[in-house]
């Protein structure tokens, strides 16, 4: 019943952009749950775009959700500016809209999840990046869902 899907459904791709790797996450058909898809070992911008384009095509992605690594004081540091530059170029190359999501502590949370699974974080860097991307996308999905609920509640009052 694809016609019955909510009009607010959107296929989004979450990205945890690092200098060596990019973690990718997607959401399920309901837009409720984010899961890690893969980790790209960065080589060149062109190769990164080609790999991401393949995922975009397969999953019919409509929006990129990019984790922005704010400093703990809320400012944009060196790494955040690099992520913004990459994300802007990627968005233009893929011709997709993009939104940023605060990613502070997502890599730490992802690492803690790996430790809880009795895995070694140092041997599972790619998995950490995928889990961080999933956390970023999940935050975005949750924020989007709660904003929709607030607007519905406002209309009903």
Characterize the bridge pairing of strands 12-17 and 34-41.
unpaired
pLDDT at 6: 43
Query: In angstroms, what CA-CA distances link 91 with 31, 47, 59, 85, 95?
Result: 21, 15, 16, 10, 6
Average pLDDT over residues 20-37: 90
> Is residue 154 scored above 50 in pLDDT?
no
More confident residue, 2 or 54: 54
pLDDT at 7: 47
* Domains present along the chain, CATH in parentheses: 12-150 (3.30.420.140)
pLDDT at 8: 56
User: What burial letters (b/e) apply to 46-80, b meaning 16+ CB within 10 Å?
Assistant: eebeebbeeebeeeebeebbbbbbbeeeeeeeeeb
pLDDT at 155: 46
Going along 8-124, which residue ranges are E strands? 12-17, 21-27, 34-41, 63-68, 98-102
Percent pLDDT > 70 in the chain is 88
Residue 25 bridge partners (DSSP):
14, 36
- The pTM of this model reads 0.84
More confident residue, 103 or 2: 103
> Is residue 10 scored above 90 in pLDDT?
no
Q: In what order do the strands lie in the sheet with 12-17?
A: 34-41, 21-27, 12-17, 63-68, 98-102
With tokens 């070694």, the residue in question is 120
Contact present, 139 and 65 (Cβ < 8 Å): no
Average pLDDT over residues 39-47: 96
Residues 67-109: pLDDT tens digits? Answer: 998 888 888 888 899 999 999 999 999 999 999 998 877 888 8
pLDDT at 152: 47
Contact present, 55 and 38 (Cβ < 8 Å): yes
> Is residue 127 scored above 50 in pLDDT?
yes
């Amino acid at each position: 019943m694809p016609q019955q899907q909510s009009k607010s459904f959107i296929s989004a791709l979450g990205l945890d952009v690092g200098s060596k790797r990019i973690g990718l996450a997607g959401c399920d058909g309901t837009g409720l749950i984010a899961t890690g898809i893969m980790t790209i070992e960065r080589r060149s911008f062109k190769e990164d775009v080609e790999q991401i384009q393949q995922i975009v095509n397969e999953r019919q992605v409509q929006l990129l959700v990019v984790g922005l690594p704010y400093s703990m004081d809320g400012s944009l540091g060196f790494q955040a500016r690099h992520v913004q530059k990459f994300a802007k170029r990627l968005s233009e190359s893929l011709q997709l809209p993009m939104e940023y999501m605060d990613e502070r502590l997502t890599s730490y949370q992802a690492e803690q999840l790996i430790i809880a699974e009795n895995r070694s974080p140092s041997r599972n860097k790619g998995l950490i990046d995928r889990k961080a991307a999933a956390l970023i996308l999940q935050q975005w999905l949750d924020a989007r869902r709660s904003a929709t609920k607030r607007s519905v509640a406002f209309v009903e009052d």
